[in-house]
Amino acid sequence: MRVLLVHPSTLMYSEIFLRLEPLGLERVAAALLADGHDVRLIDLQVYRKADLERQLAQFQPEAVGFSLNYLANVPEVVDLAKRVKVILPGCTVFVGGHSVSFVAEPVLAHAGGAIDVVLKGEGETGAPALLAALPDRALNEVPGAVTQDGPGRPPRMLHSLDDPLPARHLGGRRRKYFIGVMDPAASVEFTRGCPWDCSFCSAWTFYGRSYRRLSPDAAVEDMARIAEPGVFIVDDVAFIKAEDGDEIARQLERRHIRKQYYLETRCDVLLRNEEVFRRWKRLGLNYMFLGLEALDEEGLTAFRKRTTPAVNNKALEVARSIGLSVAINIIADPDWDETRFEFVRQWAMSVPEIVNITVQTPYPGTETWLTEARRLTTRDYRLFDVQHAVLPTRLPLHRFYEELVNTQAVLARKHLGMAALAKTSGIVARQLLHGQTNFAKMIWKFNTVYNADRQHSEHLEEARYLLPAQAERPTVPVPAQRKELFVHVPLRRSG
């Protein structure tokens, strides 16, 4: 069967800081190729919608699958699905991914028949089963399939993450992918899932709080196939198991595979497995993302981070001693006033790390969606991008955005603009000599992307598609109720 897989366009923060290859879609493509399908992939982060229409006209796919990992992309994907049905009325259109797994029924309703199936859960199992079932229209037998008739069988987890490895050769324009100064950069996955249960996060609810690992052999084999000099390790928490990180490092050393690495982990994991991170520093680990989320005990408890300010500060000291460039995330509460914004600015300027500010956002699939969704001031999907306030703000909304953008601008001046150019002029020069312009363009784009007037005005635009209203949940769910959020329900916990 001829299959076209489509990744939607970039979100607000991706216009500046990063643009990552569609790794999940590449893995789905590999699973379909293994079943004998003729597969093409187009990423609208690096291609235009006109390119998609040409693919539809020339390739004439029998099935089109959209990746929908981010809630803010829902309107775009729904509209694209409707366009596909106009061009190819007989084509089967399906959608899968992280965010759509939590809002399958509403998205089907928005599409009005333009989306035939939403696949909840892992696409490597769902997509091949869907295409196999199409001739007989036995969609209720497909794991994770949701149609206008309702859900069928529950989604099924991959038996092993070792196979299929991503079909990176399908996408094209790989030099357009970058993260910060790593330009170009590929992405790689060593683990999937998270054993923690932070209240604002849906990684643990999607995978049923499970944690699975590629074998070190498969992880290194995938690394060996990457041509780019930079690699972003996409794991929610890197190197939870020290022995896995050590074994992957050992095999990379033996095979003389050397890259620049960027990863994300937790402060307590860094402290517990410090020697693993030091070993990876010798392999080329230069950049680390640490989600502090809050600076005080009260905020960490509210987010259920299961850490403390003392642990977080110690982790920053360790990262500095290793010689890593660290990016920190802090979640801005809509209840912040000018005094709180000023406190965060002063703290962020006092530390050497890159500090990023996102806005507290209740997402479907998170515990905060259950507890906070009744308070939403908007249900416009486009604004659920952690850059807009969707809960009531203590400050007038425009004033909140002025403080937010001012804070982000102060922090950006530490690492963007002339400051960044002075620190990275040699890197930028080498990139430009090789035709890489992503990071160089990023340095100057902040003021054109982050703008209080722009962000405020986006609340005033007409919303064509709205998130469903949430029933009242007056108290924090008990653990038994949290399991209602799970997309995958593992038969057993691992890791």
* List of domains in the chain: 2-151 (3.40.50.280), 177-460 (3.80.30.20)
Ramachandran class of 150: left when φ > 0, alpha when ψ lies in -120 to 50, beta otherwise: left
pLDDT tens-digit series, residues 16-69: 778 999 999 999 999 999 999 999 999 999 999 999 999 999 999 999 999 999
From residue 98, how far is each of 7, 74, 123 by CA, in Å?
Answer: 13, 12, 10
pLDDT tens-digit series, residues 368-427: 998 898 899 999 999 999 999 999 999 999 999 999 999 988 777 766 555 555 566 666
CA nearest neighbour of 145 among 124, 121, 164: 121
What span, in angstroms and rounded, lies between the C-alpha atoms of 91 and 292? 45
pLDDT tens-digit series, residues 170-200: 989 999 999 988 889 999 999 999 999 999 9
CA nearest neighbour of 320 among 387, 247, 362, 267: 267
81 contacts 93 by C-beta, under 8 angstroms:
yes
Structure tokens at 58: 């020339």
pLDDT tens-digit series, residues 287-336: 999 989 999 999 999 999 999 999 999 999 999 999 999 999 999 999 99
Distance of alpha carbon 364 from the chain centroid: 15
What span, in angstroms and rounded, lies between the C-alpha atoms of 215 and 160? 9
Cis peptide before 334 (omega within 30 of 0): no
More confident residue, 429 or 488: 488
Helix residue spans in 332-416 (DSSP H): 338-350, 367-372, 397-415
Structure tokens at 195: 């054993």
Q: Are strands 117-119 and 92-96 parallel, antiparallel or unpaired?
A: parallel
**433 pLDDT tier (thresholds 50, 70, 90):** confident
20 contacts 79 by C-beta, under 8 angstroms:
no
pLDDT tens-digit series, residues 109-143: 999 999 999 999 999 999 999 999 999 989 989 99
What span, in angstroms and rounded, lies between the C-alpha atoms of 256 and 448? 42
Whether pLDDT at 493 is above 50: no
pLDDT of res. 494: 44
pLDDT tens-digit series, residues 262-291: 999 999 999 999 999 999 999 999 999 998
What span, in angstroms and rounded, lies between the C-alpha atoms of 172 and 151? 35
pLDDT of res. 495: 41
Mean residue pLDDT of the chain comes to: 92
CA nearest neighbour of 52 among 4, 95, 13: 4
